[in-house]
Structure 1
């Protein structure tokens, strides 16, 4: 491998480490896991909470709970976008 190729690989490795350190460590250990873009655990919990608020707002005819559930569901739906920006990340 030439020096230019090694430099490019090192730059890619350092960029991956900066962007998603957990993914880079798992790759280095030989136990790869999903990149951050495809880990959606928090999104499912947020959607479940919003759904619970919606159901409670429907069961008890309470408009504020219903509206909060709808807004929460909309906010949780954005968490499923794999190409959204993460706090601390910079786009070039």
Structure 2
């Protein structure tokens, strides 16, 4: 038995509410927000912190700070520019 279009829309709305409740609330209120996969604020703060730790490690000649800064910068850079295929096909087409 085919499922009606209304039931599909209700299922889609429920899944959206579970995956990103903030986006669903903003959509209902008429003030759209960016979906979770496009929010990069934390990644930029991590990148700034990593660069600060790296810079202070270089200035103080402390290898542990330099290593920690490099790890933070690498992690934040990965979060700021994730794999496009994970964003739902916004990147190059898969073959």
- TM-score (structure 2 length as normaliser): 0.80
Aligned to 1:62: 62
Please tell me the root mean square deviation across aligned C-alpha atoms, in Å: 1.5
Where do 5+ consecutive residues of structure 2 fail to align?
Answer: 88-95
Question: How far is the alpha carbon of 1:75 from its aligned partner?
Answer: 1.4
1:32-71 matches, within 5 Å, as: 32-71=32-71
- 1:36-88 deviation line (CA, Å, top 9, x unaligned): 0001111111111000011001111111100110011111122222638xxxx
- Structure 1 runs, 4 residues or longer, greater than 4 Å off: none
Q: Distance in 1 between matches of 2:57 and 2:7?
A: 57
Where do 5+ consecutive residues of structure 1 fail to align?
Answer: 85-92
